[in-house]
Amino acid sequence: MKAYVMKHIIGLCYRDGTKDIVLEETLRTEGVPYVRVHRPEDMKGLRGLIVGEGFDSWSSEIGEFLESGGVLLSFRPSGSLADELGLEEAGVQENGYLIAEGRGAEIISYEGRLQIFGETKLYRGGERLAGLSPKEDFGGIIRVKRGSGEAIVVAFDLPTTALTMLQPASECGKLVDGFKVEYDLGRIPQVDLLRRLIIGLFLDALKIPILRLWYFPSCRRALLIISGDQDGCDLEVMKVVLEIIKELKLPYTLFVMPTVQPISKDGFRMLAEEGIEFGFHPDFFFKPGKVKISKPGAKIRTADPSIFNEDEFRSQLRKAEEDVGCKIIGERTHGLRWETIHEIPLWAERAGIQHESSMGSKMWESKPPMMGYWTGSGLPYHFIDPDDGYRRMDVIEIPLLGSDNMFFWKPTEYIVAIKPDACKSFIAGMGLSEDEAFEIAKKYLDEALEKYHTANCYCFHPIYLAARRLKKPVYYTDTLLRKLVNYARERGAGIISINSWNNFWRARESVEVESIEWNVEESSLKCRVISPTGIESLTFIVPLEFDGKKAKVWVDSEEKKFEEARILGGDYAMFTIDIKAAEEITIEVKYAESQRQ
């Protein structure tokens, strides 16, 4: 008997030039292989179909797809497609919350509220998989059975939700006021969890094991990334920092500020030879602002807004690259100067910068600062330009989780006086000891490893790392760094430089998983994997068992050992592969060994 073979298990259909590009970004982040679907006839042979908004005209073909056993993931269906799914549209909810519960909560290791933005459609019908608030009588994610297939319906606006959190806009000119994540929800990477929740429920419904790319290299469950902003520090300071990072065997990236540069080219050459990497730290605060405020005891941040422009950005980048003697691929703006994605990220993209890392510190007018995932994510992501047909920008944000300033400044009033019509006052500083700061960082790292599987990226300024040795009259951070790095190694977290993280993520995104074949009779999955650029320590995951049988993995016909990992609400086989540039490898997973045996 000839075995039935299914190729290209999952198809993705959305309108180009719309915000539904976020659906494709979700699949890329979650490492799920897919093929684009442009016509109804392209559904043939697929097991799963993901459909964005605006496909009412495909409703009859989608109905046939479900009747024949297909699995649909549909985002905010309306009109005839909603009718085809047996859903009655009953209004909308503006913003609010999704409630993770049941199997969904198990997948993301979190139960409770997640912020959502935009209009959520309210449907009558189907089975609730995730709730809504305040419209508690309706579901935010719904399951609909149809024939021998089923549909997972996402009622809330995932693209608007993601873009609202991931792409903040500042009114005052500093990122501290731009984030939309609520104070009590900053402790969790909400966008990461929303993506993971939707994809996890969809893959459950497929009932076919899917080979996925894991987020991190070398089977790591989370990453720790350490960098620092130069802010005018000299070579004496950097020599002390160099001793610390060599002692810890720690990759460290120095974001170089060209407007105040006491280190010579020879000094930078020495630092580079000793292993320090460099980023760009543009300074838009070097010229005094026109807004004049005097308030005893307050920290006042002011700047001339006229120098915040692309020409100044490019001029400083040229100077920074001349200083360090190499091409710079990463940027973090001094003082977190920011307005929208149409300034720093767009200037960076045009200048050939690959990654941006300013987002992370948030302040409130009436609440003490708190460390958190204020973009809703700890993972890298591309900016999406809604003013240019929702174009995927070729610059990656690598968000910060924390900075030493936040931990150790004494609580004080912090006034941002850059724009005359948008002066704002905040509470800055947590006033912690190094031991207290470590306990907070330790908790976030534990949760990243055990539950949220994300990256913790920190800024440790050189001046504070060297302060104890040089007896500088500022706070000290070297003990915190040592404790954090040693604890991360003890727990098995990966430790990587921010430039290397950018390079890995980009190489991961370029990996092509082709000719995915599911053989029903043999319970086997087979695919070809190609890396145009080459990549080391690329990690794959696949369900550990299927139909009571345990997985075995072969790479290019040789059996591959794997780790057994409890992640994403299930048991997985996790293994790592090195792929050379343009090399093609074959991965085969067979479920043949009885788990009971």
The 10 Å CB-count burial string (b at 16+, else e) for 389-426 is ebeebebbbbbbbbbbbbbbbeeeebbbbbbeeebbbb
Asked if residue 278 lies in contact with residue 268, where contact means CB atoms within 8 angstroms, the answer is yes
**CA–CA separation, 302 and 343 (whole Å):** 18
pLDDT of the residue at 7: 65
- With 0-12 / 13-18 / 19 or more C-beta atoms within 10 angstroms meaning exposed / middle / buried, residue 441 is buried
Q: Letter for the amino acid at 177?
A: D
Give pLDDT, residue 289.
Answer: 77
Return d(Cα 189, Cα 191) in angstroms, integer. 6
> Which residues make Cβ contacts (< 8 Å) with residue 11, sequence separation at least 6?
34, 35, 36, 37, 42, 43, 46, 48, 49, 50
Please give the torsion angle defined by the CA atoms of residues 286, 288, 289 and 291, in that order, rounded to the nearest 10 degrees: 150
> Within 148-280, where are the H helices?
158-166, 190-206, 235-248, 265-273
CA pair distance 541, 114, nearest whole angstrom? 26
Identify the pLDDT of residue 318: 98
Distance between the two ends of the chain, CA-based, in angstroms? 27
Q: Rounded to two decimals, what is the model's pTM?
A: 0.96
Q: Are 398 and 225 in contact (CB under 8 A)?
A: yes
Low-confidence ranges of the chain (pLDDT < 50): 1-5, 596-597
What span, in angstroms and rounded, lies between the C-alpha atoms of 279 and 501?
13
**In sequence order, what are the residues at sequence separation of 6 or more whose Cβ sits closer than 8 angstroms to the Cβ of residue 596?**
548
Q: Cα–chain-centroid distance for residue 347?
A: 21
Helix (H, G, I), strand (E, B) or coil at 20: coil
Percent of the chain with pLDDT over 90: 91
pLDDT at 3: 41
pLDDT in tens, 58-82: 999 999 999 999 999 999 999 999 9
Residue 587 CA, distance from chain mean position = 27
Distance, CA of 491 to CA of 441 (rounded, Å): 13
Distance CA 314, CA 297 (A): 36
Q: Which domains does the chain have, with CATH numbers?
A: 7-213 (3.40.50.880), 218-286+306-406+433-505 (3.20.20.370), 511-594 (2.60.40.1180)
User: What CA–CA distance (Å, rounded) separates 575 from 211?
Assistant: 11
Pick the closest to residue 396 from 533, 264, 283, 500 (CA basis).
500
How far is it between the farthest Cα atoms of the chain? 86
